[in-house]
Structure 1
């Protein structure tokens, strides 16, 4: 199959690192636009007079940011591949198990906290939206005018980088296709990105924030599952490293 092509592997690491950086910075890259005029129009449609409305900002949403919970697993996995370029196989075997265990625990804890956060916010959203008319107006003021266009551009860039990441991994080593876990991870992150874009386009703009939070909820669950998979997978590596150390003594 050929040797590992190091430049392609390092470029793959850069690509997935950019993906995670864009997702974590999505709140700064999207939203923030003035939605005051849209709120007044919505209030008129409901037959409610809200008087003068100051600047109301579009929400940035949670969905794209929560994608980072999944993609940080891809970043971690690619980083471990790159670690083999610096460490011997023996040293890497001892370090990888413990490091993966710590990473998995942190990922599980972060996923649980963010899962509760988005669930509470989603509950508030739905409750306000259904409390016509004043609850609905409060919902519109906070979440009713999602920046679908900006989010779509960002998701398009993220999806392109993920495809580049997957392609570079194959160029680095075609045998990566035999790694079922890596293939499943790549499919998971690609599908999650497409699903979020689909959710953003599925309903009228005033409801997009709700489906965006639904997507974020799903991503937190997916990340939780991957965290458990990594946690379980790290145990044999740790046991093997302990046995190797004991034998060496």
Structure 2
């Protein structure tokens, strides 16, 4: 039970890397379809004459992409577990704290910036939607035709890979269940994925972009929290590494 099964750990690393890759590439994998016909129909119901309309495409949304802010923490954690297979514990102990500190600071900055950007975009969305009829029409042209089906398929694949990641980690080392931080991280990312799918199904199609951005906003906040957890958790490791280095570097007295 105590032996680490390396092949399963490497497969878990691959699974969570695929998760992050799919989420980061969600803007390319979803959206982009022609929504001009749907926009003309909506304009007709609003009693607005559009005239000649250029290409109107389906938005990709932010929700799935910003799930990566959370899942990159899972990737980082799994990567550290995997690193222990090739790097001696003595060296890893000295490097891990500093590396985690740098990673957490970068994640904190990125998550905070995306939090602000998403909040501003969400505010614009709601303001335009409520400013009928022309504001509503502008909202529809930009965000009104979210590709719910494509996003649902992608989220389903992401959720499957996350479950596979968790299962492979347990196969690699059942004692990972005793790691409360890892268990909480796994529950967080699974819950966020399910919540995003729920938000996509909660409202009529023309409002899904708003709930998707709302989910993205929540994910950015969650990522900020996890970044702070990593940052605080890295400090004891750094202090320990500094003390160990100072102790080993002292000249021995004859």
TM-score (norm 2): 0.97
Render the CA deviation track for 1:188-238: whole Å, top value 9, x for unaligned: 000000000000000001000000000000000000000000000000000
Corresponding residue of 2:58: 58
Say which SS state the counterpart of residue 50 (structure 2) adopts.
coil
Say which SS state the counterpart of residue 33 (structure 1) adopts.
coil
Corresponding residue of 2:156: 156
* Cα distance in 2 for residues equivalent to 1:74 and 1:167: 14
Render the CA deviation track for 1:69-114: whole Å, top value 9, x for unaligned: 0000000000000010011111110010000000000000000110
CA offset at residue 47 of structure 1? 1.2
5+ residue gaps, structure 2, are 250-254
* Cα distance in 2 for residues equivalent to 1:49 and 1:198: 35
* Cα distance in 2 for residues equivalent to 1:209 and 1:86: 44
Corresponding residue of 2:252: none
Q: Map of 1:97-176 to 2, 5 A cutoff?
A: 97-176=97-176
CA offset at residue 53 of structure 1? 2.1
CA offset at residue 23 of structure 1? 0.3
* Cα distance in 2 for residues equivalent to 1:110 and 1:187: 22
Task: Name the count of aligned residue pairs.
Answer: 249
Say which SS state the counterpart of residue 56 (structure 1) adopts.
coil
5+ residue gaps, structure 1, are none
* Cα distance in 2 for residues equivalent to 1:72 and 1:180: 18
Q: Map of 1:77-88 to 2, 5 A cutoff?
A: 77-88=77-88
* Cα distance in 2 for residues equivalent to 1:177 and 1:197: 27
Corresponding residue of 2:243: 243
TM-score (norm 1): 0.99
Say which SS state the counterpart of residue 78 (structure 1) adopts.
helix
CA offset at residue 52 of structure 1? 2.8
CA offset at residue 165 of structure 1? 0.2
